[in-house]
Structure 1
Amino acid sequence: MASLLSVTILFYSLYCVNGQHGIALPELASKIGATKFAKLIDVASLGQPLTAPGPLTMFAPNNGAFSKLSPDLMKLLNTNMTELVNVLLYHVLNEELRIDNTTQNDMLIGTLAGPSIRINVYNVYIHQKLIHTVTTVCGKAVVSADNVANNGVLHVLKGVLFPPPGNILTALRKCPELTILTKGLIDIGLTDILEGDGPLTIFAPTNEAFKKLPGDMLQKLMSNMTALEEVLTYHICDGTHFTQGFRTKKYSDLLLMLSTGWVAVNVTDTYATANNIKIAYPDINVSNGVVHGMDSVLFPLY
């Protein structure tokens, strides 16, 4: 009887170590419903590398995450093998990482693609009551954590991750629709801050947003460094505030900006707002924070 008990304990121990009956991460992704992600792994011929002994950590977007991507992005992933491999490897760590929603806020961890992912932990309050805690990876919510495979652990995400284009200033410079904002930020001397470690959140008005300003307000703004600094620093705050975290404050949803003033943020099931203005391009992942693209310029609430 003692011998049988020992064998049972040994078998159970091996099962716990090896996870889902010998299933490696790509197969586990398919088994738990992330079939589109698993299929892309096969298309990119990454199945064998990602079944290596590890331990690895895989962040697998669910199928709904891919359905939300634009046709252009899906076309890029389906036709450009280099980009596809880069994106897929950005979802994998060369170490095992379990989700811990008490210690991991603003944690940066390098991926197999090279650039780091950023983990954030947000306590979500509604009517001053703590409802739940949301853990995000580059702003994408973890919807199923710590699924064990024989070569690591898998977390299911509610979004697809894309490697950052660089820091905030680098990202702004690469976007032809943000040239007015970029010039203004450089003119007022924020280069070092925007290229620093951060983390920072910036609400980035497009060129069209600036051109919508009434009369000759844009020309006056760009020629008055004091006024320009006051307006542009009202679009930047400390910390990484992805839209998943817009309900994190217990008593209000206000972000204190670098200039004197607060921006009121909110999120619904379909979109997020800043000062009741819909954020046109939310949650753009950058190495030192997050960028939210705006179709309007923000002005202080009084």
Structure 2
Amino acid sequence: MNVTPTPTVNVTPTPTVNVTPTPTVNVTPTPTVNVTPEVNITEEIVAGLSGQENLTTFVGLVNNSTLGERLEANRSYVICAPTNEAFDGLGNETLSTIMNNTTLLNNILDYHVIQGDYTIEELVMLCENSTNGQISLPTVAGTDVNVSLTDGQLLINNIVVVTQIQITNNIVVYVLDDVLIPPDTPIPTPTPTMTPTPTPTVNVTPTPTVNVTPTPTVNVTP
């Protein structure tokens, strides 16, 4: 029996491939940033005085102004807040002018904000230790107010400080019994109400009627 030999197959070996391993990348996680929300000082003032029924006019003026834009959240302030009666004392015409004039309103409110953190007790002590019994403090308006002491009563520009209200850690409110008017600020004088003088009633005595007896006609005989 003739056996056909199996042919020899030359197999080309598969070449060895050197694979470069993918390097391990250490990813640094993005840190979590805690963003502190921006503080709205106007809202803080309004919220802090919301229960003060004698300060509603002041709160309304602050709400309609841009005062909060000029106050920094990380600074301390003393807010001088006149009572409703103090604003009423200006007269309706003057108060209406202030409310409808944005520049005038902002100037007046800026003058009511003292830069710094002072309690009434601290200001009393500062006045007592001063050479002339008074001190000057800067306001947001850029001009100073005069703080003095009379018979133990604290005055700002000779206006009585009635009480104080701490509304945040860095904002204290002084309640005043009058309105602070910045120097060289034109405030319209209310037009006085003229009470007309009544014309006096004159009682005229009527002229009496005189009955005249006619002179009789005399016939003369020639």
**TM tier relative to shorter chain:** 0.5 to 0.7
> What is the aligned length?
136
The offset of 1:32, in angstroms, is: 2.9
The one-letter amino acid of 2:63's match is: D
Q: 2:65 aligns with which of 32, 40, 44?
A: 44
CA distance in 1 between partners of 2:52 and 2:72 (Å):
16
- Quickly say closer, same or farther: Cα 1:139–1:153, change in 2 above 3 A: same
Find the partner of 1:67 among 83, 88, 97.
88
Q: In the aligned structure 1, how far is the partner of 2:81 from the partner of 2:144?
A: 16
In 2, are the aligned partners of 1:26 and 1:51 still within 8 Å (CA)? no
The Cα of 1:148 is off from its aligned counterpart by 4.1
Distance of aligned partners of 1:71 and 1:78 in 2 relative to their CA distance in 1, 3 Å threshold: same
Contact 1:99 1:146 in 2 (8 A): no
Which residue of 90, 101, 119 maps to 2:147?
119
Q: Distance in 2 between matches of 1:144 and 1:72?
A: 28
Q: Distance in 2 between matches of 1:51 and 1:38?
A: 19
Over 3 Å counting, the alpha-carbon distance change for 1:146 and 1:106 in structure 2 is: farther
Runs of 4+ in 1 over 4 A off after TM superposition: 47-51
Q: 1:29 aligns with which of 49, 55, 62?
A: 49
Contact 1:27 1:38 in 2 (8 A): no
Aligned partners of 1:85, 1:139: CA distance in 2, in Å?
A: 22
Query: Are residues 1:57 and 2:78 paired?
Result: yes
Q: Which amino acid aligns with 2:155?
A: T
Q: Is 1:106 matched up with 2:117? A: no
TM-score, normalised via structure 2 length? 0.55
Conserved? CA contact 1:102–1:121, under 8 Å: no
Q: When the two structures are superposed, what TM-score results if normalisation uses the length of structure 1?
A: 0.41
Alpha-carbon distance in 2 for matches of 1:145, 1:43: 23
| Aligned counterparts of 2:71 and 2:62: Cα–Cα separation in 1 | 9
**Higher helix content, 1 or 2:** 1
| Structure of larger gyration radius | 2
SS of residue matched to 2:173: strand
3-state SS, counterpart of residue 126 of structure 2:
coil
Aligned partners of 1:24 and 1:51 also within 8 Å: no
Change (3 A) 1:27 1:151: farther
Write the distance in 1 (CA, Å) between the matches of 2:170 and 2:176. Answer: 19
Distance across 2 between alignment mates of 1:99 and 1:51: 22
Structure 2 distance, partners of 1:164, 1:65, is: 18
- Give 1:1-302 correspondences, 5 Å limit: 24-33=44-53, 34-47=55-68, 49-50=70-71, 52-100=73-121, 101-104=124-127, 105-123=133-151, 133-145=152-164, 147-165=166-184
Q: Distance between the aligned counterparts of 1:91 and 1:35, measured in 2? A: 16
What is the letter of the counterpart of residue 163 of structure 1? Answer: P
